[in-house]
A and B are shown apart, each in its own frame.
Chain A
Amino acid sequence: MKTTYIMQKEIRESILTPKGFLWYILASIILSVLSYLFLTNSELSLLDQGQMLYMIMNFITALGLLMGLVFGADAFAGEIERGTLEALFISPVNKTEIAIGKLGAALTNWWIIFVISLPYLFVVGKGGQNLLTGIVYLAILGTLLPLSFPPFPWDFQRG
């Protein structure tokens, strides 16, 4: 339960913000441009559908990784810098609960990117046999991404 409260706070702090929305808008613009090029550019459209799908999935994974890193870098460093972590640690919530809450928010972020990219995957991979495999692969990969989080500052000390 306490984990849920931490996660809600994280989501409000980093996803439901102008900056968060900017990321998602940027992601859909880039995905739109990419898909448009794939489908209209004569050279690129020579690529077979599987290759196109593969390239666009790579892009989505890279985006997820990048955002995961930005998230992860700020998860604890940001709270230490703003002086808010200590009050959390004084509360009767253990460090694992805090860490899982933050991880949950990072995962939520990934799922948003995933949902945004679904329509593009369908358009680019339409009718192809690889589409479903690709989507499943992407879902699993992305879910593992936030595990690239930096380690938790178990022995909290401000330098």
Chain B
Amino acid sequence: MIVNVDNLVKRYNDYTALDGLNFDVREGDIFGFLGPNGAGKTTTIRILTGIIKADSGNILINGYDIFREPMAVKEIINALPESNGYYEWMTAREYLKFFSNLYEEEMSGQEIDSLLEAVGLHGKEGHLIRSYSRGMKQRLGIARALINKPKLLFLDEPTNGLDPKGRRDIHDLLIDLNRKQGTTVFLSTHLLDDVERLCNRIAIINYGKIVRAGEVKKGTIEDIFFLSTKEGAL
């Protein structure tokens, strides 16, 4: 297991956003973390990536306790946050250079360019991010999240707001990454189409609880989703 979440609880003041979450992610999975808006997906990802603290529970990422050894975890994971912003005044090259500097290993100009090419931004490396479309920015965000060649990549609703072509590009990119590099992908989404195309395992979260987890059988996901998230089915 590359991710092991045990009885995770997170409260915002009086509101319990995560109410005893339990689930695992296996190495090599494209894991779909599915749930309606406000279910607690972003909160979970922020805790798993060490951005915010939890109130209680245990989390192991590749065997490391995220609360005790956050730096060890950060070396092997990366994430594309929900509605990620960019330093729009930088070029794509400068953007990747800046973030690669924050890792011990610096990337050469050539490595940066080939990473940009890998996400389909060839020919746009020297353009200001300001001039990028939404889909291009999202691909740049994924490139940034690949700087440290993570074993585990978190993506928080990466296809939100993209047109069908943009979504398909992201899908293809993630499938490629999973097959060729063996990267485990943790994908949060509320779009069933993402899950159908990408994921081999899912967990469905609703009101801060996992209501369903398991393998994905093609063509059944919509039924499962509505059955497990509708009121009364909890």
A90 touches B71 (CB 8 A): no
**Of B75, B84, B98, which is within 8 A of A9 by CB?**
B98
- On whether the beta carbons of B102 and A93 are closer than 8 Å, the reply is yes
- Judged by a CB distance under 8 angstroms, whether B233 is at the interface is no
42-86 of chain A: CB within 8 A of chain B? 79, 82-84, 86
Cα–Cα, bound, A41→B155 (Å): 66
CB of B188 closer than 8 Å to a CB of A: no
Q: Determine if A91 and B103 form an interchain contact, defined as CB atoms under 8 angstroms apart.
A: yes
Q: Which of A79, A82, A83, A92 has the most CB of B within 10 A?
A: A92
> Residues of B within 8 Å of A, CB-based: how many?
28
Whether A90 touches B87, Cβ cut-off 8 Å, given contacts A5-B102, A9-B98, A83-B81, is no
Q: Which of A17, A92, A155, A157 interacts with B102 by CB under 8 Å?
A: A92
Residues of B within 8 A of A87 (CB): 81, 84-85, 99, 141, 144
Which A residues are in CB contact (< 8 Å) with B84?
83-84, 86-87
Find out whether the CB atom of B52 lies under 8 angstroms from the CB atom of A156.
Answer: yes
A155/B87 in contact, CB under 8 A = no
The CA-CA distance from A83 to B88 in the complex, in Å, is 11
B149 within 8 A of A: no
> In chain B, what residue has the closest Cβ to A9?
B98
Instruction: Return the contact of B87 from the options A9, A17, A91, A94 (Cβ within 8 A).
Output: A9
How many Å from the CB of B182 to the closest CB on chain A? 21
Q: B79 on the interface (CB 8 Å rule)?
A: yes
Tell me the chain A residues, 11-36 only, with Cβ under 8 Å from chain B.
12-13, 17
Give chain A's interface residue range (CB within 8 Å of chain B): 20 to 34
Q: Does A2 have its Cβ within 8 Å of any Cβ on chain B? A: yes
| In the assembled complex, A89 has its CB within 8 A of some CB on chain B | yes
Contact A13–B87 (Cβ < 8 Å): yes
Q: Are A86 and B51 in contact (CB under 8 A)?
A: yes
Interface check B226, CB cutoff 8 A: no
Which residues in B have their C-beta under 8 angstroms from that of A90? 49-51, 74, 78-79, 81, 145
Contact B51 A83 (CB under 8 A): no
Once the chains bind, are A86 and B53 in contact (CB under 8 Å)? Answer: no
| Closest residue of A by beta carbon distance from B51 | A89
Q: How far is it, in angstroms, between the C-alpha of A155 and the C-alpha of B54 when the chains are bound?
A: 11
Min CB gap A7→B, angstroms: 12
A2 touches B74 (CB 8 A): no
Residues of the A chain whose Cβ atoms lie less than 8 Å from the Cβ of B71: 92, 94
A residues within 8 A CB of B50?
A: 89-90
A84/B87 in contact, CB under 8 A: yes
The answer to whether B85 touches A91 (Cβ under 8 A) is no
B83 within 8 A of A: yes
By a CB distance below 8 angstroms, the chain B residues around A2 are 101-102
Known A5-B101, A9-B87, A91-B103; judge A155-B52 contact (CB<8 A).
yes
A84 touches B79 (CB 8 A): no
Q: Which residues of A contact B145 (CB under 8 A)?
A: 90
A92 to B74, CA, bound (A): 6
Q: How far is the CA of A17 from the CA of B74 in the complex (A)?
A: 33
Query: Contacts A155-B52, A155-B53, A156-B51 known; A92 to B103 CB distance under 8 Å?
Result: yes
- 17 A-B contacts, Cβ less than 8 Å apart? A2-B101, A2-B102, A13-B89, A84-B84, A84-B85, A84-B86, A87-B84, A87-B85, A88-B102, A90-B49, A90-B145, A91-B103, A92-B75, A93-B102, A155-B52, A156-B52, A157-B52
